[in-house]
A and B are shown apart, each in its own frame.
Chain A
């Protein structure tokens, strides 16, 4: 067993919460992959005769205002929500770390210019910026992803810049440079792999944030198109039924949404423990 794996097992054994998060993450991925196959009902089929029914044996999570099975909708929605979160985070990770690495590596004018861009994004109220982008470009899945990616970009850029900067003059970088490697090669082969671990923590935390962001956009009517099931929209729709006592419409998607974000956050924490050299004893 390699030391890294042994360390991982150690951390997981020591920290049951992280182990739980890994299991949850696996479950989410499974839902996203196989959701449509395991959903007991057609998530889009309405049946107004059984609208607004509380949880029962036939419909474990109850039915919504059009008589659709909430369990099926929650399951099928996993794919779209994971897509939004993963795509948005991947975009901001790629572009953010690229900008950050360049800024941290070259410094000077490039650093200042990139820093300016990042500062400008940060100076916006981020959620409102996302709202504005989606409102201006139209509420499609693609635009929700772009908006979420843009508001997350500064976190990666800053982090990548700081981490790169710290390693610019490190011994292994110096060695690579002396053996005649080009800048691009050093960045790709030496610097990037080294800054990857701390970035992964950010990625996992951001996945949760991306889902919340999409849900928030749905709540103010800037979500994906109906009748596509999506957790945020389901909570937003269900929210109007809470006062009249139909709690299950918002509660179950809300719980799943929360569980997913919770899982990503714990996962981020867990990853941090795993890669934190100070704990590697």
Chain B
């Protein structure tokens, strides 16, 4: 579809100024961090002279514009620099850690959807009833919890007290070995290679962090489903369908829900990118080796390259995601045209 391709291209071009602005702002922000990486990495007993030596080695003695140009040059070659904390190239670090974050976020989102769609529909069909109030209270409670608090509480109850959940130490317990990397998603990779035991282990590790994240995503999704369903249910074509004698279920699912999904999908995209950024805290609690925990650690150590790499990656993903949603939007509702 050449029309679609050109539209996508135009959209991507349109996003370039935003990405460029993100690159500049991030660069300035990281340089404004209080830490002096040279002093930090000069080791425990550095004197002023060896700190200067390290500064030269890191290229931090040059004026900011020069540093920025050097950074742009590296970026143009796909280089995001080297993390001082892990000692690895940032691009390799992010590539290795991104699947962990995305897998966790997707699982959290799936859990949230599984609860919020039925809840939202139920609430919309009986507005003002106890179901409606319950849906509101549950979803609002979910979004009112600080995620790190929920996470710690879940760990305490399900791992420490009850022993149902595995130890909160990353994507796999100590005995399992990671599946062969194909997509980087342990759940998918283990299924493809037929390592069902690994699948179970990975899934077990995922439950608590995904639940923590999912709780947070519950509110916007339930709300949007309810609101959108309410709107659709009150519209003429539903009344017509009802009057035409179609069964309640058919009206709800085939007519109402399908049309109500549009705004939900938009919300889904927003929630996804929001969760991906917000799961830094969840990753910290569950020792999850994702990009969020990576960014926190780098930020605390004033390790510029990973922070820049992380934010840039997230910005690009955000743009890509929005584009995908727009396309999806068009698929669900052919009336909507993708605007450039």
Contacts and interface: CB of A to CB of B under 8 A. Distances in A.
Contacts of B136: 17, 266, 269
B117 interface: no
Interface string A214-235: 0110011100000000001001
Interface string A262-276: 100110010000000
Interface stretch (B178-186, B189-197, B238-246, B294-302): B294-302
Contacts of B32: 136-137
A126 B145 CA distance: 18
Contact of B148 (A119, A126, A236, A278): A236
Residue in B137, B148, B156 whose Cβ sees the most chain A Cβ within 10 Å: B148
Contacts of B29: 132-133, 136
Contacts of B26: 132
A80 interface: no
Interface stretch (A46-54, A85-93, A253-261): A253-261
B21 A250 contact: no
Contacts of B311: 124-125, 128-129, 132
Interface centre among B140, B153, B292, B299 (most CB of A within 10 A): B140
B19 A123 contact: yes
Interface string B125-140: 0001000010011001
B22 A123 contact: yes
B280 A128 contact: yes
A140 interface: no
A122 B18 CA distance: 9
Nearest to B277: A125
A239 B314 contact: no
Contact of B141 (A124, A219, A258): A258
Contact of B280 (A119, A127, A135): A127
B146 interface: yes
A127 B310 CA distance: 13
B249 interface: no
A116 B14 CA distance: 10
A242 B156 contact: yes
A14 B128 contact: yes
Interface string A121-149: 01111111101110111100000000000
A136 B276 contact: no
Given A132-B30, A138-B34, A123 B146 contact: no
Given A120-B25, A132-B30, A243 B143 contact: no
Interface string B247-283: 0000000000000000000000000011011101100
Nearest to B17: A116
B121 interface: no
Which of A136, A215, A269 gathers most chain B CB within 10 Å? A136
Nearest to A264: B144
Nearest to B318: A123
A38 B281 CA distance: 34
B315 A123 contact: yes
B158 interface: no
B171 to A, nearest CB: 21
A221 B300 contact: yes
B39 interface: no
B162 to A, nearest CB: 14
B224 interface: no
B147 interface: yes
B202 interface: no
A82 interface: no
B160 interface: yes
Interface string B297-340: 00110000001001100110011000000000000000000000
A128 B219 CA distance: 22
Contact of A262 (B144, B160, B307): B144
Contacts of A243: 156, 160
A125 B148 contact: no
Contacts of A126: 274, 277-278
B145 A258 contact: yes
A216 B292 CA distance: 13
Contacts of A261: 143-145
A130 to B, nearest CB: 10
B133 A120 contact: no
A136 B34 contact: yes
Contacts of B219: 265
B237 interface: no
A235 B296 CA distance: 19
26 contacts: A15-B133, A16-B133, A17-B137, A119-B18, A123-B18, A123-B314, A125-B276, A127-B281, A128-B295, A128-B299, A128-B310, A132-B26, A135-B33, A136-B29, A136-B34, A208-B144, A212-B146, A215-B146, A250-B149, A257-B149, A258-B141, A258-B144, A259-B144, A262-B140, A265-B219, A269-B136
Interface of B: 15, 17-19, 21-22, 25-26, 29-30, 32-34, 128, 133, 136-137, 140-141, 143-149, 152-153, 156, 160, 219, 234, 273-274, 276-278, 280-281, 284, 292, 295-296, 299-300, 307, 310-311, 314-315, 318-319
Given A122-B318, A129-B311, A243-B160, 9 more contacts: A124-B22, A125-B310, A128-B277, A128-B292, A128-B299, A221-B300, A232-B146, A235-B146, A265-B219
